[in-house]
């Protein structure tokens, strides 16, 4: 009887230790996930706005990545628009649409239209003209064209004139 109580005590201690290790592993994984989420959300500290005025269609637009676009409502008013879902076609389309029922475009209500698909607007940030130019002028190295490789033309080999 004493041995069975001792065995139960050891088993309970082992289960308690395993449970504590599992909980700490979950907590560590959750903290790592939260750190990755905050690191992946690299939107700089621009002034966030709920909406902006736009009559008709955008004056201009430039994709930053698959989820971010700089939309120029007029020639003097750029906005950074972040969509909820990535649009892999965003960098390759000729035009986009912006839905709005009044003369204002609202975050979490309106959407960008890319090749017939609607992508809800997650957030809108007001930019200065300089910030917008800096964002659109920065291109990832993968998208910049590489200069052509310059190859030196080979000099014609001197004909070997061997006496024959």
Per-residue pLDDT band for 87 (boundaries 50, 70, 90) equals very high
> Which 3 state secondary structure label does DSSP give 130?
helix
User: What distances in angstroms separate CA 2 from CA 13, 112, 113, one per listed residue?
Assistant: 17, 72, 74
pLDDT exceeds 80 at position 102: yes
Per the rule left: phi > 0, alpha: psi between -120 and 50, beta: everything else, 62 is beta
How open is the CA angle 108-114-120, to the nearest 5 degrees? Answer: 10
The reported pLDDT for the residue numbered 119 is 96
Work out the mean pLDDT of the chain and round it to a whole number: 78
The 10s digit of each residue's pLDDT in 22-47 is: 545 555 555 555 545 544 455 557 89
Query: Phi and psi for 93 in degrees, rounded to 5?
Result: -85, 155
User: What is the spatial distance between Cα 71 and Cα 110, in angstroms, rounded to a whole number?
Assistant: 14
Tokens matching residue 40: 């992946």
The 10s digit of each residue's pLDDT in 46-78 is: 899 999 999 989 999 999 999 999 999 999 999
pTM, entire model:
0.59
pLDDT exceeds 60 at position 141: no
User: What distances in angstroms separate CA 132 from CA 33, 90, 100, 142, one per listed residue?
Assistant: 31, 17, 22, 21
CA neighbor of 51 nearest in space, from 121, 142, 139 = 121
The reported pLDDT for the residue numbered 40 is 47
R_g of the chain computed on alpha carbons: 30
The answer to whether the CB of 69 falls within 8 A of the CB of 81 is yes
User: What is the spatial distance between Cα 63 and Cα 124, in angstroms, rounded to a whole number?
Assistant: 14
């Amino acid at each position: 009887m004493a041995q069975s109580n001792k065995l139960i005590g050891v088993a309970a201690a082992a289960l308690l230790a395993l449970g504590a290790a599992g909980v700490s592993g979950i907590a560590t994984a959750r903290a790592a996930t939260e750190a990755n989420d905050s690191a992946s959300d690299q939107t700089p500290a621009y002034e966030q706005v709920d909406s902006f005025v736009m009559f008709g269609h955008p004056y201009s637009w430039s994709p930053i990545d698959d989820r971010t676009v700089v939309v120029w409502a007029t020639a003097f008013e750029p906005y950074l628009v972040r969509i909820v879902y990535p649009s892999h076609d965003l960098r390759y389309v000729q035009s986009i649409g912006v839905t709005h029922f009044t003369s204002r475009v609202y975050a979490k209500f309106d959407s960008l239209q890319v090749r017939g698909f609607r992508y809800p607007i997650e957030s809108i940030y007001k930019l200065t003209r300089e910030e917008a130019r800096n964002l659109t002028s920065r291109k990832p190295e993968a998208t910049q064209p590489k200069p052509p490789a310059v190859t030196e033309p080979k000099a014609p080999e001197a004909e070997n004139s061997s006496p024959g």
